[in-house]
Amino acid sequence: MLPFQDRYCRQRKLPEVGKLGQERIEARRAVVRGGPEALIELAYLERAGVARLELRSGPPRAWPHGAQFSHEGPSRVALGAWGALRQIQQALISDTSDARAEPPSPDPRDPS
């Protein structure tokens, strides 16, 4: 038996997440668009505890860091991870746990 109480106990110990934050992540409904990068995003969201995931066809959202990658494969992996991070951040800061809208497009001037 693992020394963990459950799958997400370590996330709840993070001051940025806590018990309430993990509850918000688990209650989140995430909408993901795109191609191969969407599968990366879905995997990260599922591992974080998002229970309701929806994959929609369509172009992936633009992201400000794409020009930093010279190869398409690593760029898509990074885009998927970045998309999951944005969705988790939205879950942690939102007042409602059931966000039906997709996360906002990033501000191109924002370096995060």
What are 108's two structure tokens?
């191109």
Summarised one tens digit per residue, pLDDT across range 81-110 is: 999 999 999 999 975 444 444 555 555 555
pLDDT given at position 107: 54
Closest by CA to 84, choosing from 27, 112, 46, is 46
The helices-and-strands tally (H runs, E runs) of the chain is 4, 2
Average pLDDT, whole number, for the chain?
82
- Give the span between the Cα atoms of 41 and 64, in whole angstroms: 17
Spatial contact of 28 and 99, defined as CB atoms under 8 Å apart? yes
Q: How sure is the predictor about 57, in pLDDT bands with cuts at 50, 70 and 90?
A: confident
pLDDT at 1: 45
Higher-confidence residue: 105 or 30?
30
- What the block records as the tokens of 105 is 């497009």
The C-alpha atoms of residue 68 and residue 84 are separated, in whole angstroms, by 19
